[in-house]
Structure 1
């Protein structure tokens, strides 16, 4: 119900703003470009894709996702038959059984969730999605009301959306292509922001679900993860830019290959039919990709209408003038478009980050902060559409509100980190 209201609100607001621009500011062609515009059309004044083009992009995105989903769900099926997921579930059970009290100890969903969080941790977006969908499907088996999100599904999705990430690989790569002096200088701020955002998501949902976070098992794991992150921050802070890039590639790519190797070796040890198991799981990946198309089309079209109508420009101008009126430092305002659009569209936020770097220079305060915003959390509405859509959840309860509140904590933390790390930059 919450998603329906938000989606309807996006469309209504976008059309109202477009009407005001058309009838009061003489932009009579705005409706046409909102519907049929293409970003690469020289005649398009908006330089953004319209509704029709966005529908095509959404379908292409899902089709491109088929391969990744098939690959990782195929390997997941092998791991399940070989008992690897059960083993992983038993290892993580002391912590997850407290955080997810409705999930039985040793349930396969625990293994799926930890695989998803691990992929997120290394900035492996393509790997995180199939693991996350598999986790949602496992949790859906325990859900007594199939149309309504369970407590466990909400906790998992909020922690996933907070996007705890050790290595913001894509952001570093983009900053490198824009010739930033040190593309990796956003590494530590991103890590701190995602950690704070994840802790905020855990606190918010735990408060709502009345989960006591002061239990020894939870505190031990949280402190242990904090120690690991602190150690990585210390190690990375001593490396130069080239070494950080090499380290991130080795850690992220190497882990995926290690997982594949362990799954195959475990399957050989258990003497299961490896290839048939892979094909069986891969079929599920194809079916899932097709199933999420309507949800993804709906979300991306609503976001497209907000962008092409100029709603974001109105919001940004309002924020900028408000801070100027208050006499506050407004260096962070130029980076805010990335933060505002990040919950709605990862691709659009990436475009905003690049635009900020082109307009202000890759080493400016706004460009670095924009990079932190981009690497600091997942795309909230995309996650809701894809993950809940994959299992047919229609009532998301308080999931979206919790994710957006955690996003807000992340934005505030990111701005604070920018002023702490780069106080003298313009």
Structure 2
């Protein structure tokens, strides 16, 4: 599936560039596409190098946590739920602990910690895979939950809105949480339906009710805070929890008379190797995305949707936010740039500006996540993972448009 999408990106970019170059009177398009290839190739290396330090640190901490027995304890928190929606993972397996840590980091918006935990989870699940080059059901569901993960604190969106002069930068807080929750639920239901997992099991229902009840309580509390209070409180809470985890891990290792320094070094070495191995996978995907963007395909899609909506008498205002929606699964930095451009052109407090902000916070960068996590374990056959991830993205986009009309229309 992934190789077909990758090839289709490049072929579509080629035909679009040929059309513009020979029929649309835009011969510079060929140069723009090849410049995108060069810049994306450099970006793939920069990303991998940038991940080396972070991966080395967190995998070092994770090595200590695993040997100290903390990962086994963490796994018990969500084990009853994960064992039912991921039945091919045995109870007390290390994967349950790393999945729990990854999901916790994602909820808190700690991307720097979530990625190493996610890579560790993929590696742990890989030990159970009957075919080492093919995703298992659990790995697919894990990827879907990562690409559609609920993030309680989309601080970056608030900061960009403040920079662009929004009167109340956090007015998109609840719409973002509603949209990203819809994306996560849709991804979970669709993937479990494909895998024939019973989501109406009593234990699963109780966990889901508890999780979303907690999310609701957090939404109610933080929705009453001003922008600066929200940013400061969420940052303090998230970083306090992260720092506490580091100290607890090291102290637990010391109490068990482990050589925490040597264990940390052993884990850090693995982080370096993993980061370097990601380069080919990032290179392939980022180049295809860069070519697609430079060819003008995205602009043609947006203009076509706008024409169809207008033709049938619909409200076309949401079309102005679609570039962010289309770019988000492909490129996080590209989507962020389009969100800022939309706010600059239409105003941060315009419908388009708010919609772009909600879309930016509603889903993750799907193909980046797939490239990193599949590359970390050398997966070649993704099965139906891409389709489920994109279905969750689509649900998040629809929810973002709906709640934006509801709150700001």
Interval containing the TM-score (normalised by the shorter chain): over 0.9
Aligned to 2:127, the other structure's residue is in SS state helix
The residue number in structure 2 matching 1:130 is 116
- In 1, Cα distance between equivalents of 2:38 and 2:149: 31
Conserved in 2, the CA contact under 8 Å of 1:92 and 1:110? yes
Cα deviation for residue 29 of structure 1 reads 2.2
- In 2, Cα distance between equivalents of 1:252 and 1:79: 19
Conserved in 1, the CA contact under 8 Å of 2:33 and 2:294? yes
The residue number in structure 2 matching 1:389 is 375
- In 2, Cα distance between equivalents of 1:53 and 1:95: 43
Moved more, 254-263 or 18-27: 254-263
Equivalent positions of 1:280-291 (< 5 A) are 280-291=266-277
Runs of 5+ unmatched residues, structure 1: 37-49
The residue number in structure 1 matching 2:21 is 22
The residue number in structure 2 matching 1:42 is none
Cα deviation for residue 266 of structure 1 reads 1.1
Cα deviation for residue 153 of structure 1 reads 0.4
1:205-225 CA distances to partner (integer Å, 9 max, x unpaired)? Answer: 111111111111111110000
Cα deviation for residue 314 of structure 1 reads 0.7
- In 2, Cα distance between equivalents of 1:173 and 1:126: 18
Aligned to 2:356, the other structure's residue is in SS state helix
Conserved in 2, the CA contact under 8 Å of 1:196 and 1:410? yes
TM-score of the aligned structures, taking structure 1 as reference length: 0.94
- In 2, Cα distance between equivalents of 1:407 and 1:306: 19
The residue number in structure 2 matching 1:44 is none
The residue number in structure 1 matching 2:197 is 211
Conserved in 1, the CA contact under 8 Å of 2:158 and 2:227? no
- In 2, Cα distance between equivalents of 1:227 and 1:91: 17
1:332-386 CA distances to partner (integer Å, 9 max, x unpaired)? Answer: 1111101001111111111111111111111111111111111111111111111
Conserved in 2, the CA contact under 8 Å of 1:74 and 1:282? yes
Equivalent positions of 1:214-229 (< 5 A) are 214-229=200-215
- In 2, Cα distance between equivalents of 1:115 and 1:225: 15
- In 1, Cα distance between equivalents of 2:292 and 2:219: 38
The residue number in structure 2 matching 1:39 is none
- In 1, Cα distance between equivalents of 2:246 and 2:27: 56
Conserved in 2, the CA contact under 8 Å of 1:184 and 1:245? no
Aligned to 1:185, the other structure's residue is in SS state helix
- In 2, Cα distance between equivalents of 1:399 and 1:412: 20
Equivalent positions of 1:96-135 (< 5 A) are 96-135=82-121
- In 1, Cα distance between equivalents of 2:213 and 2:33: 49
Runs of 5+ unmatched residues, structure 2: none
The residue number in structure 1 matching 2:387 is 401
1:299-355 CA distances to partner (integer Å, 9 max, x unpaired)? Answer: 110011011111111111101111111111111111110100111111111111111
The residue number in structure 2 matching 1:190 is 176
Higher relative contact order (CA 8 A, sep 6+): 2
Aligned to 1:115, the other structure's residue is in SS state helix
Aligned length in residues: 409
The residue number in structure 2 matching 1:32 is 31
- In 1, Cα distance between equivalents of 2:164 and 2:113: 26
Cα deviation for residue 275 of structure 1 reads 1.1
